[in-house]
């Protein structure tokens, strides 16, 4: 099952991990990504500053997430 994550503004991988409660502080992102495999669109990703784009697919701890952004009218 894919979890659809709808965001107001562009965020980084580290910010995503914190917002989803996977890590408790932004500073933990570097260490988390060293020890836990994360895939972005099927490829390994370990850069906490990687910006997440519309329709990106993330796999974290066996969970799938699809990133969508709210459109501004």
Give the number of domains in the chain.
1
Reported residue count of the chain is 73
pTM confidence score: 0.89
Asked if residues 14 and 29 have their Cβ atoms less than 8 Å apart, the reply is: yes
Instruction: Decide: helix, strand or coil at residue 73.
Output: coil
At residue 71, the pLDDT reads 77
- What is the extent of the structural domain holding 26? 2-69
**CATH number assigned to the domain comprising residue 53:** 3.10.290.10
What is residue 60's DSSP assignment?
E
Q: Average pLDDT in the 48-54 region? A: 97
Confidence tier at 72 by pLDDT (50, 70, 90): low
6's enclosing H/E stretch is: strand 2-7
pLDDT of 6-45, one tens digit each? 999 999 999 999 999 999 998 999 999 999 999 999 999 9
Which DSSP string corresponds to 9-46? Answer: S--BHHHHHHHTTSSSSGGGHHHHHHHS-EEETTEE--
């Amino acid at each position: 099952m894919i979890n659809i994550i709808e965001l107001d503004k562009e965020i980084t991988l580290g910010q995503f991990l914190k917002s989803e409660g996977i890590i408790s502080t932004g500073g933990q992102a570097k260490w988390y990504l060293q020890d836990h495999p994360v895939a972005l669109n099927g490829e390994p990703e370990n850069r906490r500053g990687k910006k997440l784009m519309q329709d990106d697919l993330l796999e974290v701890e066996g969970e799938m997430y699809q990133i969508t952004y709210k459109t501004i009218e």
